[in-house]
A and B are shown apart, each in its own frame.
Chain A
C-alpha cells in the first residue's frame, strides 16, 4: 500500500470551453483558455518550482519562484499568474531562471530554521522540496542578523520572533517556520469563507495572524483545516502528525458525520490513523472539509467505547459481559419467546442513518424476513420523512433534485430552516463562495443565522418568521408570484398538469394568502416578502435549500409540498443551478431511507402492499413477506406503553436522546422486555437496554454511505474493528442465531443484492464505484453514469403535481403559562446527539447547550447572561444556562441538543407532522425563569443513568 497520489496543479482549473494550444519546453499542450502557464506545464508533466501557488486557491504571484521565459516577451513572468495564449513558446528551465530561483530560495532559507531532521513536516515540506529542486547548496547569510526564527540566545528579546500558538486542539501554528506565502490566508477566504486570517505588518515584518492578533482558538477560526492543508511548510501542522510522524499509506473513505458526505484520505501508519485529509477528487467536497470530519475522529479510540457484548436481566441490574455467542443466543431466544407470547408483531428494529447502506439493508431484512413483520423505522423519521412524502407527492420521488456542484450556477438561493454553515459546513462554504461571486440570498428562518450576515455576504432578505408558520410564508410567496404573473407558464404547460396548476393558482391567489393577510401570524413584513418573491421568480436560476426547520413541524410535509410548488411555478427544476435541495442531517439519512428503513416501504421506496416488489424480495429471500405497513417509532413506543410491543433491536441510534418527549420514550422503552442496543458507547437508550452489542466505527468496516445529493460513496476499512466485528457481521450473526441462512462474506455481496432487487441501484457495485469514484442514484441502464440532476426531461411521476397548501396553526400554542416559543438546532462543532463529538477535543468549542434568549425577554425575567435558568413546557422542564442575544426575536428562544444532561427533549412535545409523524421539534411553547440548579427530572435521570451504566463481571480475555 502507498499514499494515494494527488497532483497539485498550482492554480485552479479553468472552466472555459475554448481551447488553446501552446508549447512548453518543446512539448505541445492544449488546455482551456484562462489556464495558467503553471497549470498547463503540470498537465504536460512539467513541474515548475513554486511556493505561493497551490490549486485550491487563486494565484497570488508573491514568491517569484515559478518564473518562466516566453519567447518574444521580455522578462521572466510568474507562471502562476500568467495565462496561456495560443502559440506561446515557454521555457521553464534556463540558466537565467536557475540563478533567480537559487537566489530566491537562498533568501527564504536564510530566515528559516534548519531543523529539518526533527521537523514534523520532514518529508512533506514544499520548502524542502524546492530547495532540492532548485539545487540550493549553500546559504551565505547567517542568523545573526534580522530573523524571526528564534529567540535570541544572548537574552535580548527578538521582537520579530513569536512563540508557537498551540491553542487549537488539533493543529499548531509555529510562526518561526512561516514563509508568508499567504496560502493559508487565501484558503481561509476562498475555500472556507471565514476570513479568519490576515497578514499583519509589511515586508520583512509581516506575519500571519488569526483575527486581530488573537490566538487561533479565540479567533473567528472554525478549525476547518483548509489553512493547514494549504501550508507548504510545518508552520501549520496537525498535532497528530507532530505526535505520530508522517503517514506511509492512505485510503480514500467517506466522513461519517453529516449528509455532505465529504471524501477523505485516511492517512495511516500501520493501523494507526495519522490524519484525515480531504480528498480533492471527492465530488461532494472538492478537497474541503470541516472540523468534524477533518479532526474529530478521536472517539473511535475513546476509553468509554464498549468492546464486549453485555446482557442483564433487568435494566436496574448492572451489566454482565458475555461472549458474542451468548449474546446472540440470548437475543434470538428472547425475541422468539416474545413473539410466541405476544404475537408476531410484538418486536421490531430501528436502523441507523450513521451506519452503512449495507448494514441498514440487513437490519430491515432481519425485521422483514426474520421477525416476519414490517416494524422497522429509522431516525430519519425524526428529520426528513416529510421530504419523502412531500417530494414524492409532487415530483414522484423523494430525491433531492441537484448535486452540490449545482450551486455554482445559482443566481438566487433561498435557505429555509437550515443553517448550512453549522449543519452542512462544507456545502456552506461552497454556497458562500457562490454568494461572494454575486448570487443573491434569501433566508427564511426565525433566527438570524450566521449566513444572514457574514464576511462579504449579506442576505438580500431575511424573513424572520414566527416558528411554525412556514406554510403561511411559502404560500404567501406563491401568492405574489401568481398574482403578479411571475410564474413560468411555458414550463408549467410543458412539465406539469395545467388544470392542477390552475386549481392551485386560484387557491394561492386568494386574498387570505397575501403577505399582508398572513403578517399577523407570521410576523414577516409584507414588503420584504413581496420583494423576496419577486427576486426569486425573476432573478435567474433559483435554488431552494432547506433543512430540519422545514420538516420538524406539524405541517412539515405541507411545507415541503409548498417548496416544490414554488420551484415548479417558477420553472426552477431540471437543470444545474436550480432545484429543491433537502439538506439531510446525518451522514447516511439518504441511504437509510433508500434502503427500506420505513415500515411501509421496501428498499427503493416501494410500498409493502405492492405485489411485484414483494415478489422480488420473496424470491430472493425465500420467505413470505407481510403486505401490511408496520409501526413507526412513535407508534412502537405507544404500543409498548399499551403492552403490545415488547422487543426492539436498535442499531446505532439513540432514540432516548434524539426523539421528542423523552419521558414518553423512556416509558415505552421501560415497558419492553428485550431492548437490544448496538452502539459504540453506552448511549442514553442503553440505559433501558437488556442487551448491548458493541458497534464499530466507519474506519473499521467496508460499506457505502449515500449523501444528501444521492451520491453513493465508498467507506473503506482502514483498521481492524476494536470490538471484533463490523456492524453488518453482528446483524448477520444475529440473523443466523434466529435461524436465517445468511452467508455474506463481504459487504460488497450485500450491495450486489441491493442492486439486484432495487432498480435505481441496478448498476451499482463495489467494482463500479471503485472505477467511477462515486455515483448518484438512479444508476441503471438508462443512466449508467448516475443522475446528478433529476427531472431533466420531465418529472419522475410524469407531470409535476401542484397541491394546495393551507396553513394550519399548530396546536402547540403559547399562552399565559408558556408565553415563549422554543426552537431547536445544532452547531458546527457538535454532531446530533453528540455521542461522538462529545468524546473528542471538539468540546472546546461547545462545552454545554445554552438557551438563546432576546435581551428584552431576559430583562423581563431578571435573567443575566450566563445565569442558570429553568426551561419548562407542557411536557417537562430542564435547566441550562442563558445566552442573551438578539439573534432570536423577542418571544422566541433557541437551544441546541447536543448534551444529554440538558435533556432538551424533555421539553419537546409529542406533536408531529400530520403525514409522517415527524416530531415537531421546532415549535414548543415554553416559559423561562431563573433557577439555581438542575431540575428534579435531571437529577433522577442522572441517577438512573449512573445506575444503569454499571458493569460487573468482566470477562477475562475478550476476543
Chain B
C-alpha cells in the first residue's frame, strides 16, 4: 500500500488538535481565550492524552500555538496510571 503522507503519530495529532482548539478561541473576546482552551481540554481529553500533552508542553515543544502554551497552566494534570 502506498502512503502519500508521512505517518502521523498520536503526538502529532494531539498537537494538531490542541492548535485547532486554540484557533477557535483566538477569535473569541480576549479575556476568555486561555480559559476557553483549558476548559475544553479538561472537559474532553482523556488522561493519557493529557499526559502525552504535558510531556510535550513541559519539554517546550515548539509546535504548540502560543495560546495553547498560555492555557497549559489551567489544564488539569492527569493522575498516576490506574491499575485494574
A299 CB contacts on chain B under 8 angstroms: none
- B10, B13, B40, B82: the one contacting A344 at CB < 8 Å is B82
Task: Indicate if B59 sits at the interface (CB-CB under 8 A).
Answer: no
- By the criterion CB–CB under 8 Å, are B49 and A806 in contact? no
**Cα separation A803 to B24 with both chains bound (whole Å):** 11
Query: Within the complex, what minimum Cβ distance (angstroms) separates B1 from chain A?
Result: 6
Interface of A: prevailing SS: loop
A686 CB contacts on chain B under 8 angstroms: none
- By the criterion CB–CB under 8 Å, are B47 and A910 in contact? no
- Residues of B55-84 contacting chain A, CB below 8 A: 78-79, 81-84
Contacts A344-B84, A638-B13, A910-B13 given: A558-B45 contact, CB under 8 Å? no
Task: Indicate if A144 sits at the interface (CB-CB under 8 A).
Answer: no
- By the criterion CB–CB under 8 Å, are B27 and A635 in contact? no
Interface residue tally for chain B (C-beta within 8 Å): 29
A631 CB contacts on chain B under 8 angstroms: 46, 48-49
Task: Indicate if A808 sits at the interface (CB-CB under 8 A).
Answer: yes
B20 CB contacts on chain A under 8 angstroms: 554, 914
**Cα separation A339 to B5 with both chains bound (whole Å):** 34
- A340, A503, A639, A663: the one contacting B48 at CB < 8 Å is A639
**Cα separation A375 to B5 with both chains bound (whole Å):** 30
**Cα separation A642 to B46 with both chains bound (whole Å):** 15
**Cα separation A372 to B84 with both chains bound (whole Å):** 8
Query: Within the complex, what minimum Cβ distance (angstroms) separates B76 from chain A?
Result: 9
Task: Indicate if A940 sits at the interface (CB-CB under 8 A).
Answer: yes
- A340, A599, A642, A914: the one contacting B10 at CB < 8 Å is A642
**Cα separation A629 to B44 with both chains bound (whole Å):** 6
Contacts A339-B84, A558-B24, A914-B23 given: A345-B40 contact, CB under 8 Å? no
- By the criterion CB–CB under 8 Å, are A345 and B48 in contact? yes
**Cα separation A912 to B82 with both chains bound (whole Å):** 29
- A344, A632, A910: the one contacting B83 at CB < 8 Å is A344
- By the criterion CB–CB under 8 Å, are B10 and A638 in contact? yes
- Residues of B30-62 contacting chain A, CB below 8 A: 40, 43-49
Task: Indicate if A874 sits at the interface (CB-CB under 8 A).
Answer: yes
- By the criterion CB–CB under 8 Å, are B84 and A635 in contact? no
Contacts A372-B84, A876-B1 given: A806-B48 contact, CB under 8 Å? no
A635 CB contacts on chain B under 8 angstroms: 46, 49
Query: Within the complex, what minimum Cβ distance (angstroms) separates B69 from chain A?
Result: 18
- By the criterion CB–CB under 8 Å, are B43 and A607 in contact? yes
- By the criterion CB–CB under 8 Å, are B17 and A343 in contact? no
Greatest chain A CB density within 10 A among B13, B24, B79 is at B24
**Cα separation A328 to B83 with both chains bound (whole Å):** 23
- By the criterion CB–CB under 8 Å, are B10 and A937 in contact? no
Contacts A914-B17, A914-B24, A917-B17 given: A343-B83 contact, CB under 8 Å? yes
Task: Indicate if A644 sits at the interface (CB-CB under 8 A).
Answer: yes
- Residues of A545-567 contacting chain B, CB below 8 A: 554, 557-558
For A570-600 the 0/1 string (1 means CB < 8 A from B) is 0000000000000000000000000000011
Task: Indicate if A630 sits at the interface (CB-CB under 8 A).
Answer: yes
- By the criterion CB–CB under 8 Å, are A808 and B48 in contact? no
Q: Which residue in chain B gives the minimum CB-CB distance to A601?
A: B43
**Cα separation A100 to B59 with both chains bound (whole Å):** 95
- A340, A609, A914, A937: the one contacting B84 at CB < 8 Å is A340
Query: Within the complex, what minimum Cβ distance (angstroms) separates B80 from chain A?
Result: 11
Q: Which residue in chain B gives the minimum CB-CB distance to A345?
A: B82
Query: Within the complex, what minimum Cβ distance (angstroms) separates B10 from chain A?
Result: 4
**Cα separation A373 to B26 with both chains bound (whole Å):** 33
A343 CB contacts on chain B under 8 angstroms: 81-84
**Cα separation A375 to B82 with both chains bound (whole Å):** 14
Task: Indicate if A628 sits at the interface (CB-CB under 8 A).
Answer: yes
Query: Within the complex, what minimum Cβ distance (angstroms) separates B35 from chain A?
Result: 14
Query: Within the complex, what minimum Cβ distance (angstroms) separates A458 from chain B?
Result: 37
- B8, B10, B23, B44: the one contacting A639 at CB < 8 Å is B10
Contacts A638-B10, A804-B27 given: A630-B46 contact, CB under 8 Å? yes
- By the criterion CB–CB under 8 Å, are B1 and A806 in contact? no
Contacts A554-B20, A914-B23 given: A937-B1 contact, CB under 8 Å? yes
Q: Which residue in chain B gives the minimum CB-CB distance to A336?
A: B84
Q: Which residue in chain B gives the minimum CB-CB distance to A607?
A: B43
**Cα separation A426 to B66 with both chains bound (whole Å):** 49
**Cα separation A609 to B76 with both chains bound (whole Å):** 12
A558 CB contacts on chain B under 8 angstroms: 24
- By the criterion CB–CB under 8 Å, are B1 and A663 in contact? yes
Task: Indicate if A915 sits at the interface (CB-CB under 8 A).
Answer: yes
B45 CB contacts on chain A under 8 angstroms: 629
**Cα separation A345 to B29 with both chains bound (whole Å):** 37
A554 CB contacts on chain B under 8 angstroms: 20
**Cα separation A910 to B20 with both chains bound (whole Å):** 13
**Cα separation A344 to B47 with both chains bound (whole Å):** 12
Task: Indicate if A889 sits at the interface (CB-CB under 8 A).
Answer: no
B43 CB contacts on chain A under 8 angstroms: 600, 607, 609, 629
Task: Indicate if A641 sits at the interface (CB-CB under 8 A).
Answer: yes
- By the criterion CB–CB under 8 Å, are B21 and A915 in contact? yes
A912 CB contacts on chain B under 8 angstroms: 17
A339 CB contacts on chain B under 8 angstroms: 84
Q: Which residue in chain A gives the minimum CB-CB distance to B5?
A: A874
A940 CB contacts on chain B under 8 angstroms: 1
The 8 closest A-B pairs by CB, nearest first: A806-B27, A339-B84, A914-B20, A344-B84, A638-B10, A344-B82, A631-B46, A874-B4
A-B contact pairs, 13 of them (CB 8 A): A340-B84, A507-B27, A628-B78, A639-B48, A663-B1, A803-B28, A874-B4, A875-B4, A876-B1, A912-B17, A915-B24, A916-B44, A936-B1
**15 further interface pairs, Cβ-Cβ under 8 Å (given A375-B46, A875-B4):** A340-B84, A345-B46, A345-B47, A607-B43, A609-B43, A628-B47, A629-B46, A631-B46, A639-B48, A806-B24, A876-B1, A912-B17, A914-B20, A916-B44, A917-B17
Which B residues are within 8 Å of any A CB, using their own CB?
1, 4-5, 8, 10, 13, 17, 20-21, 23-24, 26-29, 40, 43-49, 78-79, 81-84
